[in-house]
């Protein structure tokens, strides 16, 4: 059987398994076993055992459950509520006023959670009731929350960047550094959109309320100090080289427990709840990563990635043409799979194509995360949409319509980093020099 037919057969099998509701990790393992048994002479059982054993004790991957646990602890503490009180006094006079709390609140929480869904749940629980009560238009409240929560995937520490780094053997610390400027760029794009809407339709935005003096603002902002200390402790330790991402994740868990306990809103029962939730999430992701590693190894025995890369190279596609095709492919795939599954499912096949046309794998990681961010607000399986639906009870299609302008802004972000790749690569290069 020719390589295209083998590839189509395995793809059809994978789609069929996923459509039947089989777990992603199990589906990947089955496809890998079929590939080895039907299209190679390799011992399938031995390859499965050695691959799973070899990939199950990655030190870099140890950061994953720790960052997830940190986010779960913060999700159950009062620190997120304190962020609203600390940010609101400074944003009340900007065009768009307290809608910027969603944007900046998500950016700040993203820097300590690493998860898009956790960011949407935490900031949404804090801001949606307040903004509704003050008369802000519901579509803008929901749209800014859905779009800005995607920053949890990009702004370090990012769980999905850890997954990409492990899957492609890229430096997780360099990926974290590479995500800073694109993350700030997206924050500015989102805030700029809010400002533009406020200028175009000023009647939509409620009055600012009584003006606060500088001293009152500073007093209110003291509640931001614990969160900023946590960000400085975790991110600063990585960027200064004092700690590896895994060490920084352990530090983040310790600091989040101390700060949550200091607020008086955290208890032993909540800690156990956070621990169990983090364990479930980490086990799910680890199983998917192991299955993806096995599928990648199986594809290597069959020879598909090598032959596919040669085929792409023979087509002489430009990097721009390949990125256009991949963007459409990832957005469609993201309509049916969560972001982590998209990354682990595709990297073994996509990376040979990417390197064949000369695209920097570091840059590609940030590009991939932004495209996956787009899928987080795309129905039918947009995780942020489901989280916000759970918070508000609003129809998911209405939430998707409210988030659509932010989908376009994320697409603009992809275009900008493609035109000026230094947005991604300059900071890691500067810190290495």
More confidently predicted of 297 and 304: 297
DSSP SS3 for 316 = coil
More confidently predicted of 166 and 299: 166
Cα–Cα dist 137/139, whole Å: 6
pLDDT computed for residue 413 by the predictor:
94
Give yes or no for residue 175 having a pLDDT over 80. yes
pLDDT computed for residue 209 by the predictor:
62
The mean per-residue pLDDT over the stretch 192-217 comes to 77
Q: Which of 203-212, 229-238, 305-314, 400-409 has maximum average pLDDT?
A: 400-409
Domain boundaries, the chain: 58-266+303-432
Provide the mean pLDDT of the chain: 80
More confidently predicted of 406 and 74: 406
Give yes or no for residue 288 having a pLDDT over 90. no
pLDDT computed for residue 338 by the predictor:
66
The mean per-residue pLDDT over the stretch 33-54 comes to 84
pLDDT computed for residue 79 by the predictor:
67
pLDDT computed for residue 425 by the predictor:
92
Give yes or no for residue 281 having a pLDDT over 70. yes
More confidently predicted of 322 and 382: 322
The mean per-residue pLDDT over the stretch 19-48 comes to 83
The mean per-residue pLDDT over the stretch 91-100 comes to 75
Give yes or no for residue 76 having a pLDDT over 80. no
pLDDT computed for residue 337 by the predictor:
66
Give yes or no for residue 309 having a pLDDT over 60. no
pLDDT computed for residue 261 by the predictor:
82
pLDDT category at 3 given cuts 50, 70, 90 is: low
pLDDT computed for residue 362 by the predictor:
93
Cα–Cα dist 156/129, whole Å: 28
Q: Which of 140-144, 280-284, 362-366 has maximum average pLDDT?
A: 362-366
Give yes or no for residue 1 having a pLDDT over 70. no
Of all residues in the chain, what percent carry a pLDDT higher than 70? 85
């Amino acid at each position: 059987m020719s390589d295209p037919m083998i590839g189509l057969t395995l793809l059809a099998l994978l789609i069929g398994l996923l459509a039947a509701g089989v777990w992603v990790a199990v589906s990947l393992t089955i496809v890998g076993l079929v590939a080895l048994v039907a299209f190679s002479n390799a011992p399938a059982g031995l390859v499965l055992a050695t691959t799973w054993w070899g990939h199950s004790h990655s030190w870099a991957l140890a950061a994953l459950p720790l960052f997830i646990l940190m986010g779960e602890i913060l999700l159950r503490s009062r620190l997120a509520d304190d962020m609203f009180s600390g940010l609101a006094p400074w944003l009340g006079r900007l065009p768009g006023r307290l809608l910027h709390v969603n944007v900046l609140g998500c950016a700040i929480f993203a820097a300590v959670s690493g998860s898009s869904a956790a960011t949407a749940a935490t900031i949404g629980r804090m801001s949606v009731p307040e903004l509704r009560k003050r008369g802000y238009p519901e579509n803008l409240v929901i749209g800014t929350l859905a779009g800005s929560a995607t920053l949890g995937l990009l702004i370090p520490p990012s769980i999905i960047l850890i997954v990409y780094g492990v899957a492609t053997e890229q430096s997780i610390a360099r990926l974290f550094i590479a995500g800073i400027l694109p993350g700030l760029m997206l924050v500015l794009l989102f805030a700029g959109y809010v400002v533009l809407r406020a200028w175009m339709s000023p009647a939509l935005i409620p009055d600012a309320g009584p003006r606060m003096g500088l001293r009152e603002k500073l007093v209110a902002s003291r509640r931001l100090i614990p969160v900023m200390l946590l960000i400085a402790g975790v991110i600063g330790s990585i960027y200064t080289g004092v700690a590896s991402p895994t060490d920084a994740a352990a530090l983040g868990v310790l600091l989040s427990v101390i700060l949550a306990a200091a607020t008086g809103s955290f208890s032993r029962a909540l800690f156990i709840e956070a621990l169990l939730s983090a364990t479930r999430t980490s086990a799910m992701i680890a199983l998917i990563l192991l299955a993806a590693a096995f599928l990648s190894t199986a594809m290597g025995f069959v020879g598909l990635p090598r032959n596919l890369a040669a085929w792409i190279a023979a087509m002489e596609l430009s990097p721009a043409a390949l990125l256009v095709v991949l963007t459409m492919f990832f957005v469609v795939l993201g309509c049916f799979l969560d972001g982590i599954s998209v990354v682990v499912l595709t990297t073994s096949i996509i990376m040979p194509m990417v390197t064949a046309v000369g695209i920097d794998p570091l840059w590609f990681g940030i590009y991939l995360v932004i495209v996956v961010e787009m899928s987080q607000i795309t129905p039918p399986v947009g995780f942020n949409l489901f989280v916000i639906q759970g918070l508000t009870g609003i129809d998911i299609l209405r939430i998707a319509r409210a988030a659509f302008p932010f989908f376009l802004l994320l697409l603009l972000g992809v275009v900008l980093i493609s035109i000026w790749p230094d947005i991604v690569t300059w900071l890691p290069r500067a810190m290495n020099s």
